Amino acid sequence: MIDGADRLLSNPNSRANAEAADALNRLLASGNRHNIHIVLSSEHPDLDLNADWGARITGPTTSAETARLATGMKGSGAQGLLGSGDFLISLNAELLRFQAGYASSDEVGKALDLIHTWANAPRGREISPPEGIAQLPPRREPERIMEEPIPLRRSWVGE
């Protein structure tokens, strides 16, 4: 995951930035063949990277041209997004608009603590959740419903 790729690659005259851009281009070109997937974020969509982008997630943009660069599609309408979590995903010439909620670092930490607590609890025992989170149901084995088998009926169609 690379956050702020535009800042990383902002000065192409710098030797370090040129090396970073070259390494990133090589990784983008061959990474998928080696099961390496990259999540890259940028405030400016006009990065000079030679990549065949997979899915692109785009927030509100300032103009139709910026929207085209960000989504990789003409007429995406990203310049008309409402902000505050309004996004477009572009993948394989399709657009999907979605609304994302905000989760603070504290909320993410609490959720992870809760998941770890629940996953590591002995089966059938009640769990004390972290402070500020409602009581969880006890962890149980899934119930198996036993039904009488239905006998197969054979029928003959034909002569």
Per-residue pLDDT tens over the stretch 12-36: 667 777 788 888 888 888 877 888 8
Q: What's the rounded Cα separation, in Å, for the pair 73 and 79? A: 12
User: Hey, what amino acid is at 128?
Assistant: S
- Predicted TM-score (pTM) of this structure: 0.54
Confidence of residue 70 (pLDDT cuts 50, 70, 90): confident
- Rounded to whole angstroms, the maximal C-alpha distance in the chain is 86
pLDDT at residue 144, rounded to an integer: 60
Cα(36)–Cα(34) distance, rounded to whole angstroms? 6
Average pLDDT (97-112) is 86
In the prediction, which pLDDT does 20 show? 80
Rank 35-44, 122-131, 144-153 by mean pLDDT and report only the highest: 35-44
Residue-wise pLDDT for 132-150, tens only, equals: 666 655 556 556 666 666 6
pLDDT of the residue at 114? 80
